[in-house]
Amino acid sequence: MHDYYVYILASKMHGTLYTGITNNLERRVFEHKVKLIDGFTKKYSVDKLVYFESCMDVKDAIVREKQIKGWKREKKIALIESSNPGWEDLSEKLSQ
């Protein structure tokens, strides 16, 4: 069995949000932080991990990612603030 993660990143400057999925959260956040992959998160400097949840099944993770991506910004913010009201960068706690 594998863990899959649905995560939300925020930019420090613009408040832009990005929702993604991965099977290795620590590696994926590192890739976002050092801008290894061209695309949206690199272009808008979206690299602050503000929310994540795990799923045991990749299909469940994909469904959840699509669900969150379909939400309005206000609902995403409420989800983030339900577990991370200070919008801390949770990536700092991943390696501990």
Domains for the chain: give ranges and CATH numbers: 4-91 (3.40.1440.10)
What confidence score (pLDDT) does residue 1 get?
Answer: 57
pLDDT value, residue 62: 97
Provide the CA 31 distance to its chain's centre, in angstroms: 12
Where helices occur in 1-96 by DSSP H, the ranges are 25-33, 40-43, 58-69, 73-83, 91-94
pTM value is: 0.94
**HSE (side-chain half, CA atoms, 13 Å) at 58:** 5
Between 2 and 77, residue with greater pLDDT:
77
At 24, phi and psi to the nearest 5? Answer: -145, 90
**Average of pLDDT values for 16-27?**
96
Token digits of residue 59: 């299909």
Mean pLDDT of the chain: 93
